[in-house]
Structure 1
Amino acid sequence: MPPIRHSVFRPCIDLHDGQVKQIIGGTLSDTAPENLRTNFVASDSPGDFSRLYKKHNLGGGHVIKLGPGNDAAAREALGAWSGGLQIGGGINDENAMQWLDAGASKVIVTSYLFPNARFSLERLRKISSLVGKDKLVVDLSCRRRGERWVVAMNRWQDMTDMEISQDTLNLLSEYCSEFLVHAADVEGLCQGIDRDLVENLGKWAQIPITYAGGANDIDDLDLVERLSEGRVDLTYGSSLDIFGGTLVKFQSLVDRNMKALDLD
């Protein structure tokens, strides 16, 4: 059976201390900040990256605030392409509408849904009702535990009580329009995607899903498309030349998207 759709490249802007960075996800820690390992710190501004994505019509990307001190940088990125990028990191019922007003196409929510690391359906219903299902993305970034994937919150430091599964995605998809899934264990390592996770996401997907973590080759897009039957899109980070990488050229991904979307 041919893919229902083509997997495409979704861009990202990861913000840490007000700068665009590429960080090895598993090293983020409030208790041991000295362990943080950074692959790249951009000299270009968040707005520069946003304008680059706008130039090439790379919609559906995300801006992630990794901790405090990133609000101004996030507003700059959103302002450079109003309605073009999603925003995540510290999103809750009190600030979600402010970020939509600042130019976000959608808000991405994680930790707010897990008070004391336990999932709250009440909170999901509340924020979905507030912003609208079509404006809400649920971040299911996770860590692998044997043959399972457990959702991690607070910059991937704290494990929650939620396992990614068919039942989980079915429930959550009633209240949101997309999922974002960082495989935190391979994030920033450029050692390949979590194939099992991507394959399962493709089986379980009812709504669009963007996967991030480990992509290190242009052919990973074809791999994700094959594993997920085109139901999962892919984000590249540290392997990408615009983030100091040497393994994947940004222009190659732009060309691949144009081909997939028949825009050429």
Structure 2
Amino acid sequence: MAERRHSAFKPCIDLHDGQVKQIVGGTLSDNSPNDLRTNFVSSKTPSEFAQLYKKHDLQGGHVIKLGPGNDAAAKEALNAWPGGLQIGGGITDTNAQSWIDAGASKVIVTSYLFPNAKFSLDRLRAISSAVGQERLVIDVSCRRRDDQWVVAMNKWQDLTDMVVSEESLTMLSEYCSEFLIHAADVEGLCQGIDEALVAKLGVWARIPVTYAGGAKDISDLDLVDRLSNGRVDLTYGSSLDIFGGRLVKFEELVKKSKRM
């Protein structure tokens, strides 16, 4: 019998205005920039975070460009660990390969797949063909609406016509190798993960999944492992000491993840 897989810690580098930040996801808005709530702005460079993750061999981490003005910072992180980090934010079929060439292990896409907030299978096929299925991660970040999770695009501001479900994930998985899912309603709040969503992802997904949003305790890694039967990995953000948090120590989390 194959040994059961266990959930792992996946690191992140969130970039806003060229700096490494931790932001309350639901407050990102083009129309109301004054509503932005920032938990942390780092004095360290993107490359320093990339080097830290490389030191601990934390594979599968992601760099997310939150809006314009982040290309140089993103390339700095990728240059620090070529082939070690994924890149997302403004990725399209025409620029995806250039980010692979810049050192990204995979590209992450959301908004490009939803012109006018409506899913386009043609665009999915185009970007999957551009870089190959193995190099593509689809970010189906979402907001909860009643008993469903609706995919949100454009820095999680706009709801699309796609519901996160077994059917939609099965269809998307034919064109990508991995999912990244931010639970935008709890992102950056450090008030706990969306347990119902994690449990569903453990049942629905046929390919690797990284969940982000709300992790506040080192034991949340055990919780995600149990809820998803080890099928979903977990990103920590604002709760980590490397991002100014006081709830989770990075070094302890890395050790725990390696032991699982």
TM-score by length of 1: 0.97
Alignment partner, residue 116 of structure 1? 116
- Would you say how many aligned residue pairs link Structure 1 and Structure 2? 260
Distance 1:146 1:202 in 2: 20
Tell me if structure 2 keeps the 8 A contact 1:10–1:60.
yes
The alpha carbon displacement at 1:205 in A equals 1.2
Give the secondary structure class of the aligned counterpart of 2:44. Answer: coil
2:106 aligned partner, one-letter code: K
Question: Is 1:138 the equivalent of 2:138?
Answer: yes
Which residue number corresponds to residue 216 of structure 1? 216
Unmatched segments (≥5 aa) in structure 2: none
Within 5 A, what are the aligned runs for 1:85-164?
Answer: 85-164=85-164
After superposition, give the CA deviation of every residue in 1:60-101 in whole Å (9 maximum; x if it has no partner). 000000000000000000000000000000000110000000
Q: Structure 2 CA distance, aligned partners of 1:254 and 1:228?
A: 20
Match of 2:76 in 1: 76
Q: Given the alignment of the two structures, is residue 11 of structure 1 paired with residue 8 of structure 2, yes or no?
A: no
Distance 1:240 1:3, change over 3 A: farther
CA distance in 2 between counterparts of 1:246 and 1:97 reads: 38
1:256 Cα offset (Å)? 1.2
Which amino acid in the other structure matches residue 76 of structure 2? Answer: E
Deviation at 1:2, TM superposition (A): 9.9
Q: After TM superposition, which residue ranges in structure 1, 4 or more long, deviate above 6 angstroms?
A: none
The alignment partner of 2:225 has SS state of: helix
Hey, what's the Cα distance between the residues in 1 that align with 2:257 and 2:91? 29
**Partner SS state of residue 230, structure 1:** coil
Alpha carbons of structure 1 residues 3 and 246: separation in structure 2 relative to 1, 3 Å: farther
Normalised by the length of structure 2, the TM-score is 0.99
* Structure 1 position 225 matched with structure 2 position 225: yes
Give the letter for the 2:103 counterpart: G
Provide the secondary structure at the position in 1 that maps to 2:72.
Answer: helix
1: CA distance, partners of 2:239 / 2:78: 24
